[in-house]
Amino acid sequence: MLSGTLDEYRDIKHPEAYVLWCTMGFYPDLRIFQNEPMCDLMGFQDDVDTFFLPMGVSD
């Protein structure tokens, strides 16, 4: 088990080999989406950091 920041996660060489467990209440300035179409559907127009995490659900 590891803990870290979003920037540290982005530096991981093979993120698909990890399970990311994120408690959303602790990250008010971060949005996590399954994919870009889902993000586009939500239509946020701000500067909040957006992160894509495939969750095993089909597009």
Task: Assess if residue 59 is contained within a domain.
Answer: no
Half-sphere exposure in the Cβ direction for 33 (13 Å, CA): 15
Q: What is the pLDDT of residues 1-59, one digit of tens each?
A: 667 777 887 888 887 777 766 555 556 888 888 888 989 999 999 988 888 887 776 65
Number of neighbouring beta carbons within 10 Å of residue 5: 9
Has residue 16 been placed in a domain? yes
22 assigned to some structural domain: yes
The pLDDT value recorded for residue 40 is 93
* Domain extent at residue 11: 6-52
Residue 1 within any structural domain of the chain: no
pLDDT value of residue 26:
57
| pLDDT, position 41 | 93
